[in-house]
Amino acid sequence: MKILVFGGFLGAGKTTVIMQMVRHMVSMDQNVKSKVVLLENEIGNSGIDDQAIAGTGLRVETLFSGCVCCTMAGEMIENIKYIAKKFSPEWIVLETTGMAYPSKIKQNIRENFPELECRLMCLVDARRWKRLQRVPELRQFSGDQLEGADTVLVNKCDLVSDKELMEVDASVREMNDKPLLVHIVAKNEMSDDVWRKILEGGEGL
């Protein structure tokens, strides 16, 4: 079993990207009954429509209160244990709230499940990135979001110029120069081949 923590600011396109990704994960092997479990963590309301998820055949656990890296940390670990025992999925995809600190979630999971592979994927909004960086508190928070990321997906690349996109890349690299960085346009469906390469660490991209 592998765990993928998925972070990013509200409005960056997380729901669209996650739906594409989990559809790809499920399609890789139709014989696996519980291929993916999506573990949501949105404050107040579900961030992904349960009916849309049901249409993919996914098993879903939805958390409604708190933030997984704070008050819900213990419950998150218990949920992962429950999911592993009940469904034995190949993947658990944990969607964090837009105000979470994904690196702390990743650290918490690794401390509790050292035997499991846990990756952190973060989504960046190319169109809003420069505007967010002008606010010191949001710039600091951006760095906290990207800390520990294994993959950074830069979304909405079609809405900025090549020069602006290069500036976004440079800014992201200043905060974390280690992750695989991939440009995407989430509204355009990405091919299974691209998703496979992203999930395998980027070889061939």
Within-domain flag for 28: yes
pLDDT higher than threshold 90 for residue 22:
no
Which residue, chain included where needed, has tokens 């690196």? 103
What percent of the chain lies above the pLDDT cut of 70?
Answer: 77
5, 96 Cβ separation under 8 angstroms:
yes
What is the reported pLDDT for 35? 77
Q: Is residue 138 part of a domain?
A: yes
Instruction: Kindly report the CATH number assigned to the domain that includes residue 185.
Output: 3.40.50.300
How many structural domains compose the chain? 1
| Domain residue limits at 115 | 2-199
Distance CA 77, CA 188 (A): 34
Is 136 part of any domain? yes
pLDDT for the residue numbered 92: 87
Distance CA 126, CA 142 (A): 13
Domain-located, residue 205: no
- In this predicted model, what pLDDT tens digit does every residue of 118-170 receive, in sequence order? 999 999 999 999 998 999 888 888 888 898 899 999 999 999 999 999 999 99
What average pLDDT score do residues 33-44 get? 64
| Residue 74, domain member (yes or no) | yes
In a domain, 204, yes or no: no
N- to C-terminal Cα separation, the chain: 25
Which residue reads 């960086």 in tokens? 133
11 falls within a domain: yes
Residue 174 lies in a domain: yes
How many CB atoms are closer than 10 A to CB 68?
28
Task: Give the confidence band of 71 by pLDDT, cuts at 50, 70, 90.
Answer: very low
